[in-house]
Amino acid sequence: MDQIFLNSLRKTTARWRTEDALVADDATGVNLFRLRMMWPVAVALNGVLLIVFLWRWLGTEPPPAQADWNLRLVWTHLFIVAVALGMGWLAHKAGQRRHTLVARWLGTGNAALTMLIGLLLVAVDQAITPNITAFLLACLVAGGVMYLRPRVAAVLYTLSYLAFFKVMGWTQLQPELLLSNRINGLAACVLGCVGSCFMWRQFCTIRLQQRQLEKANAELNQKQRDLERLTRQDGLTGLFNRNTFVELSRRELDRAQRQGSATTILLLDLDHFKRVNDTWGHPAGDAVLRHVATLASSTVRSTDLVGRLGGEEFIVLLPNTSAEAGRRLAEKLRERLEASVVVWEGTRIPVTASIGLSSTTAKEKRDFDTLYTEADKALYLAKQRGRNRVV
């Protein structure tokens, strides 16, 4: 049982160390933000206390012991103001650069200085009261405001207690009160360290859960984008599918009518494509289709739409294009297809296409279905007249 417990403890400790390293930069960012928020408050509060104790020291004539205590508090709060200003300046210089050495250790330095200040206040107060409330509050604030890694917190609180133990021996001369303060100081350090470790583990858990949620959301968004792409694009060629092409074409025709511009449609059908599948197989046919899609997309303008209707049929919408300009582009596309070949497993596969063309002006106001029907008739004539031509 002991061995099982030790193995489980080692695994848990190793997992925690890994998680600590994963969130270290996030903790540094939070610490820097809190430092930038805290230092003005610390300067203002201790500035007021500095003025109060300085006024008491200058404006009254208390007994020598109280005057000495008052003066020490003046110097202590002056030290706190200087420390707060210095920490604020360092936090400002660090900015958002979490990976620098200064940024990483600012939180630890602030926690150490907080406990040092608590120790100084208690040491000064021992002249008039055995109370160690300032050190207790400093231990709780140091671990509650700054995120400290557990190993760092353990070292920091251990050193703080050793310093507290020594300083109490210098400043508290009554044995009973000295023992009580040392016991209470130990309790303060233990409570502060346990609270600090608890806060760190809570921060690790929450931050890692947030990352998992962010990752899941990113994956979901990517799947949604992929799904949208699949519903709008042809899976083989990456061109617009039939439904998307028709939808975009109708929008473009409406825009063309409002702006008074001409629109042309090209309907392409690959010649003897069945022969390619029968001779070299469907993978070769797929390679031919991808080649035609790439060549067509690179031939037309970026504002033109290219889609695959299905099988070996492609369609191109040419906005702001007259019938003559559309014919010239169709001839260019036909010639590029004829001049190109698809190399498949060492075999050169020739590619040609018959192209039917239909065009409309804004005044004619012909819709997509009419243009498509006319282009299909023209494509049929191109096939009848010997293929590899524009009609």
Residues that are catalytic: 312
Positive or negative: CA dihedral 166, 172, 174, 176: negative
Residues 6+ apart with CB under 8 A from 322: 262, 264, 359
Cβ(263)–Cβ(359) under 8 Å? yes
Length of the chain (residues): 391
DSSP 118-181: HHHHHHHHTTT----HHHHHHHHHHHHHS---HHHHHHHHHHHHHHHHHHHHHH---HHHHHHH
Chain mean position to CA 226: 20
Cα–Cα dist 139/300, whole Å: 72
**DSSP-based three-state secondary structure for 336:** helix
Nearest C-alpha neighbor of 291 from the set 273, 266, 274: 273
Cα–Cα dist 240/250, whole Å: 14
C-alpha to C-alpha distances, 299 to 100, 134, 214, 316, 341, nearest whole angstrom: 51, 79, 41, 11, 16
Cα–Cα dist 26/206, whole Å: 11
* CA R_g for the chain: 40
A 10 A CB-CB count for 16 gives 16
Paired residues of 342 in beta bridges = 349
Residue type, 90: L
Strand order of the sheet with strand 305-310? Answer: 305-310, 313-319, 263-270, 353-360
Residue type, 103: A
